[in-house]
Homo-oligomer: A and B are copies of this chain.
Amino acid sequence: MRDKFKRHLRDSGLKVTAPRTEVFEFLEKNDLTTISAVIGHCGGRADRASIYRTIGLFRELGIIHDVVAGGKRMIELSDRFASHHHHLSCLRCGKSEAVSDRVLESDLDRIAQKNGFRQVSHQIEISGICARCQRG
């Protein structure tokens, strides 16, 4: 994925730099994270301003997208750089697990198509109380 990422940048006429690689690698290892976590982790090696610029750039390029999980705004790699999935988050313990579901996906496609939308992407977040917390 790292090579694909570098190619993606170069193909867009952009440079592969240390802060960009740093942030990308962090996102690869951390599905569903926050901007402050990225700063907390990459902050020693890259300036805060560069991290914000990098995240903004990644958003524009569609490398990442935003999600709200448990009321917090989070970011994650998008489909081209991570396998397509959604999240089930527990409101009590805060953990979230990945979900993939074919039927769901085809419904979403159907809806977009019915409304005349193209180049569609989507994000879903399901929240509730997970099985473990129901017992606890």
Query: Chain B contacts of A97 at CB under 8 A?
Result: 115
Interface size on A, residues (CB 8 A): 37
Q: Which of B73, B116, B119 contacts A131 (CB 8 A)?
A: B116
Q: Is the interface of A mostly helix, strand, loop or mixed?
A: strand
Docked CA distance A126–B120 (Å): 7
- On whether the beta carbons of B129 and A117 are closer than 8 Å, the reply is yes
A111 touches B126 (CB 8 A): yes
5 more contacts with CB within 8 A, not counting A99-B115, A118-B129, are: A99-B111, A101-B111, A116-B130, A119-B128, A123-B125
A97 nearest in chain B by CB position: B115
In the bound complex, CA of A62 to CA of B71 (Å):
11
